[in-house]
Amino acid sequence: MRQWQHRWLAAARNENVQALLVALATAVGAEFKINPFYGDYFRIGLGVSTFLCFLLFMRGLPPVKTGILTGIVNAVFQHSAAAGMFYVVFAIGFSFIGRSKRDIPPLLLGGWVSAVDLVSNLTELSIRGAYLGAAAYHLNDWLLLAAVAVVRSYFVIGIYSSIKISQMRVVHAEQEKRMEQMLSVGSGLYGETFYLRKSIDEIEGIAASSFELYRQLKEANLSGCSGQALRIAQQIHEVKKDSQRILAGLSKLYASELGVQMNVTEILQSVVKGNQKYGEMLGKRIGISVLEEVSFTTPHYIPLLTVLNNLVANAMEAIEGEGTVLVHAYVNGRDVLFAVSDTGPGIAEPDLGFIFEPGFTTKFSAEGVASTGIGLSHVRDIVHSFGGGVEATSSETGGARFVVRIPMSALA
C-alpha cells in the first residue's frame, strides 16, 4: 500500500512539474504577439499555439489542471485575469477530446480546436468588456477573430498530424523489417525441420532393421553378434528420441505463425526484397521482376518462401556480374505454378537429369570447393510433400528456368 502511495505521489509531482513548465513556456510564447484590433484590449500571441502543442504531444498531461496553472501564470505575466481565463476555458474545452485525440481525423480535430479557441476568445473579450469597459466589436472583428482561430488551430494540427504520420511511417518500416527477418528465420527453420523430420524417418527405418538383424542373429544362436546388434538398435533409438526433441523445439519457433495467412503478393514481395539484399551482398547488379497472374492466400507461406528463396538465390548466384531474374506466378488448371527464370549461363543438357539429386552441384567456390548440393533436392522434397512437382528447363533468355507446380487445394 505504501509503495502504491509513493508511486502516486511521484506521478502527481511529475504532473505538477510538467504543468508548471508548460505554463511558463506558454507565458513566454504569449509575449510574441500581434494586435489585430484597435487599442490594446485583445492581443494574439504564440502562447495559444505553444499551449496547444503541449496538450497534443504530451500524453500524460492533465488538460484542466495544466490550463488552470497556465491561466494563473499568464494572468500574472500579462497583468490580466481575462488573458488567464482564456487558457482555463481552452483547457476545459480540450479536455472533452481526452485521449481520443489520436483517433479523431485531423480535419475534425482542427474544427473542434478552432471552436474551442473561438469560445475562449469570446470569454476573454467578455471579461475585458465587463471589467474594462471596452467597446463592442464590429462584425468584421468577429470574423477576423474566427479566422485567426481557424488558421492558428489548423496550423498546429497540421504540424501535429505531420509528425504523427512520420512516426507511423518509421514504426511501419520497422515492423516491415522485423517481419522480413521473422520470415527469413522461419523459412530457414522450416527447411531444417523438414530435413530433420526426414532424417528421423530414416533413423526409424534403420532402428527397425537393426532390431530385425538382432532377432535373426539370436535365432541363429549367434549370441555375441546378436547382442551387439541389439545395442546398435538401442543406440539408434536414443538418437531418434534426441532428434525428435530437437524437432519439437524447432517446430515451436515457427508454429505460432501457422494460424496466420499471407497472400501471394506479400510472399513474392518478401522474396524480392530478401534476394535484392542478397544480390547486393554478392556485389552483383541483378534486377528481380515479378509477373503475378494469380491471387490467393495461404497458411503455408513458409514452405513457399523456402522454395522460392532457394530458387531465386540460386539464379542470382548463377548470374555473373549483372542480369535479371523473373518470378512468374500463374494458374494452370487446378495447379498454381511458380516459374523462376534468369539470364545466367543456364544448365548443361547432361546435368538436367541430376540437378535435383542430393549432393549434385555445379557450383564451386573460388578455392574450388563444391557446394553441398542439397538446395534443389530440398526444393524437390518440399514440393513433393504438397503433392506437386518441379522441373528445370532452358530459359528463353538463355539462362535456366525452374517451374514449381503445386495443387491449389494443397495450399488452402
Q: CA 242 → CA 197, 227, 235, 237, distances in Å?
A: 12, 23, 11, 9
* Predicted pLDDT of residue 41: 46
pLDDT at 339 over 90: yes
Domain boundaries, the chain: 2-137, 182-255, 262-411
- Residue 403: alpha-carbon gap to chain centroid: 31
* Predicted pLDDT of residue 326: 93
Spatial contact of 113 and 52, defined as CB atoms under 8 Å apart: yes
Q: Pick 252 or 261 by higher pLDDT.
A: 261
Q: DSSP string spanning 34-63? A: E--SSTTS--EETHHHHHHHHHHH-TT--H
Show Cβ contacts of residue 134 under 8 Å, excluding neighbours closer than 6 positions.
39, 41, 125, 128
* Predicted pLDDT of residue 195: 67
CA distance 250 to 377: 21
Q: Where are the alpha helices (DSSP H) in 96-138?
A: 106-132
* Predicted pLDDT of residue 352: 75
Spatial contact of 344 and 320, defined as CB atoms under 8 Å apart: yes
CA distance 22 to 404: 64
> In the sheet where 322-332 sits, what is the strand order?
285-292, 322-332, 335-342, 400-407, 389-394
Question: How high is the mean pLDDT of the chain?
Answer: 79
Q: Pick 375 or 38 by higher pLDDT.
A: 375
pLDDT digits (tens, 9 = 90+) for 380-397: 888 998 999 999 887 666
Closest C-alpha among 404, 78, 310 to residue 87: 78
Q: CA 335 → CA 33, 108, 339, 403, distances in Å?
A: 72, 50, 13, 12
Q: What CATH number does the domain located at 262-411 have?
A: 3.30.565.10
CA distance 184 to 206: 33
pLDDT at 256 over 60: no
- Residue 383 host element (H or E): helix 375-385
Note every long-range contact of 383-387, with CB atoms under 8 Å and residues 24 or more positions apart, other chains counting: 383/307, 385/194, 385/303, 386/300, 386/303, 386/410, 386/411
pLDDT digits (tens, 9 = 90+) for 219-241: 777 777 878 877 887 788 778 77
Spatial contact of 409 and 312, defined as CB atoms under 8 Å apart: no
pLDDT at 346 over 50: yes
* Predicted pLDDT of residue 408: 92
* Residue 320 three-state SS: coil
Global confidence as pTM: 0.56
pLDDT digits (tens, 9 = 90+) for 43-82: 567 888 888 888 888 877 888 888 888 888 888 888 778 8
- Considering the chain, what percentage of its residues have pLDDT values greater than 70? 80
pLDDT digits (tens, 9 = 90+) for 165-219: 888 888 777 766 776 666 666 666 776 777 677 777 778 788 788 878 877 887 7
